[in-house]
């Protein structure tokens, strides 16, 4: 039985260890078997730790998820969850530990992140139960509203329709980069989600047939989406192509052209124009929905263009291409409406 390596372990230390192991043997316990059992217990403890199970969940969950979203989720776990729960045996974690974790995150002023951490933790526990690593989900006992303060809805803020003309003029006169200005204009005309816009690739754009095909991997609902391009949008994209058309992305980052601009680029631009807490990229979607409904456009056509697809994956994949002709007319009307508003 190895008791240490000289000179890192002194002869006196070896004698002491030797005496202890002989006492163990004299008590009827094989010290070598005990060491092996201890190592096995340590290994089992590691494999049943929250972090180990979370890694397995991540490998399972990320199939079909965009790399960007998966990486953001991994970083949130590393920053917020693993420091509190990572080394804990998942079977032993109780609800109060989760409450302490999310309240600690909230104390940093990021209530939304605390809520997401609780939701992700609940997903990991459901995976653990399904695969025999845990018997219950302590996150299921907690409702975010029970332990977290209500968060501001500023991220969904939008101006009133009567304020749209002034907003459009300010976008046209925006003093920042041309790429950011065009991103805001495209957001207004197409009312796609911010992530769908900033991640756009030139391979998705067909200017000749006036069509933008967003693959399912980049859509929130994981179903493909078609944006018919109005004459005004084609003009914007034609100008943008002179700026970024040599690369893969429509909106490459300033420092790394292989990554798109950040989610906050449009939000910060709107803030610089005086719309902090009053307008966001998402706000264009709400404005378009309200105004199109008020002008009598078909509800189903509007919902399809907003990519509010049915939750059923089969019907959603089928529906994404429905009513393209009336949707194209609607999108052209919307661009012309924006043009008129800008001139008011």
Catalytic residues: 193, 220, 282, 285, 308, 318
CA neighbor of 141 nearest in space, from 95, 81, 89, 101: 95
Backbone phi and psi for residue 289, each to the nearest 5 degrees, phi listed first: -60, -45
User: Would you say 86 and 50 are in contact if contact means Cβ atoms under 8 Å apart?
Assistant: yes
Q: Could you tell me the two tokens for 177? A: 């980069």
Q: Alpha-carbon distance 340 to 165, whole Å?
A: 8
User: Would you say 283 and 218 are in contact if contact means Cβ atoms under 8 Å apart?
Assistant: no
Query: 299: cis peptide before it, omega within 30°?
Result: no
Query: 7: cis peptide before it, omega within 30°?
Result: yes
Residue whose pair of structure tokens reads 């992140």 in the numeric block: 113
- 33 CB-contact burial (10 Å; exposed 0-12 / middle 13-18 / buried 19+): exposed
Q: What is the chain's alpha carbon radius of gyration, rounded to the nearest angstrom? A: 28
User: Would you say 134 and 125 are in contact if contact means Cβ atoms under 8 Å apart?
Assistant: yes
């Amino acid at each position: 039985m190895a008791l240490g390596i000289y000179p890192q372990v002194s002869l006196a230390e070896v004698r002491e260890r030797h005496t202890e192991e002989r006492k163990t043997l004299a008590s009827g316990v094989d010290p070598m078997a005990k060491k092996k059992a201890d190592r096995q217990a340590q290994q089992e403890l590691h494999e049943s730790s929250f972090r180990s199970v979370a890694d397995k969940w991540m490998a399972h969950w990320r199939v079909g998820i965009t790399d960007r979203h998966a990486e953001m989720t991994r970083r949130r776990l590393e920053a917020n969850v693993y420091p509190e729960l990572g080394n804990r045996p998942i079977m032993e974690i109780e609800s109060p530990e989760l409450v302490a974790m999310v309240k600690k995150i909230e104390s940093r002023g990021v209530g939304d992140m605390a809520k997401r951490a609780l939701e992700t933790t609940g997903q990991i526990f459901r995976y653990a139960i399904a695969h025999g690593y845990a018997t219950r989900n302590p996150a299921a006992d907690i409702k975010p509203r029970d332990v977290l303060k209500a968060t501001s809805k500023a991220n969904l803020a939008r101006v009133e329709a009567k304020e749209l003309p002034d907003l459009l003029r300010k976008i046209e006169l925006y003093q920042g980069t041309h790429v950011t200005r065009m991103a805001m204009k495209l957001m207004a005309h197409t009312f796609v989600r911010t992530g769908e816009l900033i991640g756009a690739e030139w391979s998705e754009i067909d200017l000749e047939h006036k069509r933008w095909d967003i693959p399912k991997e980049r859509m929130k609902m994981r179903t493909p989406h078609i944006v018919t391009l109005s004459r005004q949008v084609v003009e914007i994209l034609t100008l943008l192509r002179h700026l970024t058309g040599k690369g893969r992305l429509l909106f490459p980052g300033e420092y790394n052209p292989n990554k798109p601009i950040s989610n906050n680029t449009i939000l910060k631009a709107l803030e610089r124009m005086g719309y902090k807490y009053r307008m966001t990229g998402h706000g264009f979607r709400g404005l378009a929905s309200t105004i199109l409904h008020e002008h009598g456009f078909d509800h189903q056509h509007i919902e399809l263009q907003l990519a509010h697809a049915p939750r059923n994956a089969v019907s959603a994949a089928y529906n994404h291409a429905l009513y393209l002709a009336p949707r194209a007319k609607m999108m052209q009307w919307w661009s012309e409406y924006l043009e008129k508003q800008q001139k008011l």
